[in-house]
């Protein structure tokens, strides 16, 4: 079930940089909470390859609404450049785009599709209906509170979150690698109690405003795509083409992380000793990632232009990449 879109709001702001109006764009959108590891760099390379081989621009957006570690953004950009990746126009930052999120929430609110939620995470998990809600969906505790009940709850919690009053339980998207995928839609958070715009809202607004029509990201976010596509449809925004690529896992079968040892370029250089230059470390990382994607043979010299010539989504491995290999 799909609700009709809201009346059109202001036109999305154009992204920076010269481009054709019909060109479209892909993107990589890291959070500056730490250094990029090999799995992040692998996803960035794939996003670049998908965009560059389909004639799209490639944009970089820093998702800095939440955790920000000083210096992380600069190191992330340096690591991407060291692999040979480039992007079009200046880097955008979510912290500078709050007006667009507020406008989207205002439009939803004017249509009666926003309500205050006073629940804590613990209360949601303990709610009587929670076990019956699919895949951890919000059970609707605050959806139909009366005015008196809302006033009573504000006396206890003066900073409620704002949730979407969804009119569908599920939504279907099409993914380049996974085909049609139907996932849950619930009353997702639009703005947290501390005033921070929620990820699911921000990413939808940003992608539309920047002309992004191709989203390549880790397949751990596949289940988020139906929510985001549904929200985009409500706002009258285009739904992008999705490609959710396999994650990099550590040796214990969990998402690759610092606990798995030398997984960032800086750590890899340190582990290799003084003989490893930053350039040599980046070349080794690019080669290792290319081999994992079946775009190069072990020991073969690699450059991103060569990988672009060889790239085909149909030939990508769909299983997770385990690093370091056993």
Q: Is residue 19 part of a domain?
A: no
pTM exceeding 0.75: yes
**Residue 1 pLDDT > 60:** no
**Residue 265 pLDDT > 90:** yes
Residues that constitute the known binding site for Zn(2+): 117, 119, 138, 142
Residues that constitute the known binding site for ATP: 258
CATH number assigned to the domain comprising residue 207? 3.40.50.620
Co-location of 83 and 182 in the same domain: no
Contact 58, 216 (CB under 8 A): no
Which DSSP symbol is given to 17? S
Co-location of 104 and 209 in the same domain: yes
Coil/strand/helix, residue 135: helix
Percent of the chain with pLDDT over 70: 89
Dump pLDDT digits (tens) for 44-75.
Answer: 999 999 999 999 999 999 999 988 999 999 99
Co-location of 142 and 173 in the same domain: yes
Dump pLDDT digits (tens) for 190-207.
Answer: 999 999 999 999 999 999
Q: Is residue 150 part of a domain?
A: yes
| Confidence tier at 12 by pLDDT (50, 70, 90) | very low
Dump pLDDT digits (tens) for 74-96.
Answer: 999 999 999 999 999 999 999 99
Percent of the chain with pLDDT over 90: 79
Residues that constitute the known binding site for L-glutamate: 27-31, 63, 199, 217
Co-location of 191 and 261 in the same domain: no
**What's CA 103's distance to the chain center, in Å?**
21
Query: In the chain, which residue ranges form alpha helices assigned H by DSSP?
Result: 38-52, 72-82, 98-110, 121-126, 147-156, 199-209, 225-234, 265-272, 278-292, 304-310
Domain of 223 in residue numbering reads as 98-245
| Confidence tier at 133 by pLDDT (50, 70, 90) | low
Q: Is residue 45 part of a domain?
A: yes
Which DSSP symbol is given to 255? B
Q: Is residue 112 part of a domain?
A: yes
Q: Is residue 8 part of a domain?
A: no
Q: What is the Cβ-side half-sphere exposure of residue 192, based on CA atoms within 13 angstroms?
A: 11
| Confidence tier at 275 by pLDDT (50, 70, 90) | low
Instruction: Provide the domain count of the chain.
Output: 2
Q: What is the mean pLDDT of residues 250-264?
A: 90
Co-location of 216 and 124 in the same domain: yes
Dump pLDDT digits (tens) for 293-324.
Answer: 999 999 999 999 999 999 999 999 999 999 98
Co-location of 240 and 215 in the same domain: yes
**Residue 14 pLDDT > 70:** no
| Confidence tier at 5 by pLDDT (50, 70, 90) | low
Co-location of 240 and 163 in the same domain: yes
From 229, 245, 261, the end of a domain falls on 245
- pLDDT for res 6: 58
Co-location of 259 and 141 in the same domain: no
Structure tokens given for 219: 């397949």
Q: Is residue 9 part of a domain?
A: no
Residues that constitute the known binding site: 27-31, 63, 117, 119, 138, 142, 199, 217, 258
Contact 41, 28 (CB under 8 A): no
Q: Is 258 a catalytic residue?
A: yes
Contact 41, 289 (CB under 8 A): yes
Contact 166, 185 (CB under 8 A): yes
**Residue 271 pLDDT > 90:** no
From 192, 216, 245, the end of a domain falls on 245
Co-location of 79 and 156 in the same domain: no
From 245, 274, 292, the end of a domain falls on 245
Co-location of 129 and 233 in the same domain: yes
Q: Is residue 32 part of a domain?
A: yes
Q: Of 154, 254, 258, 308, which residue is the catalytic one?
A: 258
């Amino acid at each position: 079930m799909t609700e009709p879109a809201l009346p059109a709001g202001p036109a999305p702001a154009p992204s920076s940089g010269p481009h054709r109006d019909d060109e479209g764009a892909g993107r990589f959108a890291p959070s500056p909470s730490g250094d990029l590891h090999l799995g992040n760099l692998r996803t960035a390379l794939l996003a670049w390859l998908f965009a560059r081989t389909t004639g799209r621009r490639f944009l970089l957006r820093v998702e800095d609404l939440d955790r920000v570690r000083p210096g992380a953004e600069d190191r992330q950009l340096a690591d991407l450049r060291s692999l040979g990746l480039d992007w079009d126009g200046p880097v955008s930052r979510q912290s500078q785009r709050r007006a667009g999120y507020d406008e989207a929430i205002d439009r939803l609110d004017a249509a009666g599709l926003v309500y205050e939620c006073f629940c804590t995470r613990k209360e949601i998990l303990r709610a009587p209906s929670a076990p019956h809600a699919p895949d951890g969906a919000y059970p609707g505790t605050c959806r139909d509170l009366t005015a008196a009940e809302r006033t009573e709850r504000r006396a206890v919690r003066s900073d409620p979150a704002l949730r979407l009053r969804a009119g569908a339980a599920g939504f279907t998207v099409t993914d380049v690698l996974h085909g049609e995928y139907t996932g849950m839609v619930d009353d997702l958070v639009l703005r947290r109690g501390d005033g921070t715009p929620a990820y699911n809202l921000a990413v939808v607004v940003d992608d539309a405003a920047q002309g992004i029509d191709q989203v390549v990201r880790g397949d751990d976010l596949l289940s988020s795509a139906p929510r985001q596509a549904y929200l985009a449809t409500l706002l009258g925004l285009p739904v992008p083409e999705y490609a959710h690529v396999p994650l990099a896992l550590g040796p214990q079968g969990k998402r690759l992380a610092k606990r798995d040892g030398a997984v960032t370029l800086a750590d890899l250089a340190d582990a290799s000793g003084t003989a490893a230059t930053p350039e040599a470390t980046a070349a080794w990382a690019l080669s290792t990632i290319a081999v994992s994607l079946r775009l190069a043979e072990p020991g073969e010299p690699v450059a991103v232009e060569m990988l672009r010539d060889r790239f085909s989504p149909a030939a990508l491995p769909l299983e997770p990449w385990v690093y370091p290999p056993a």
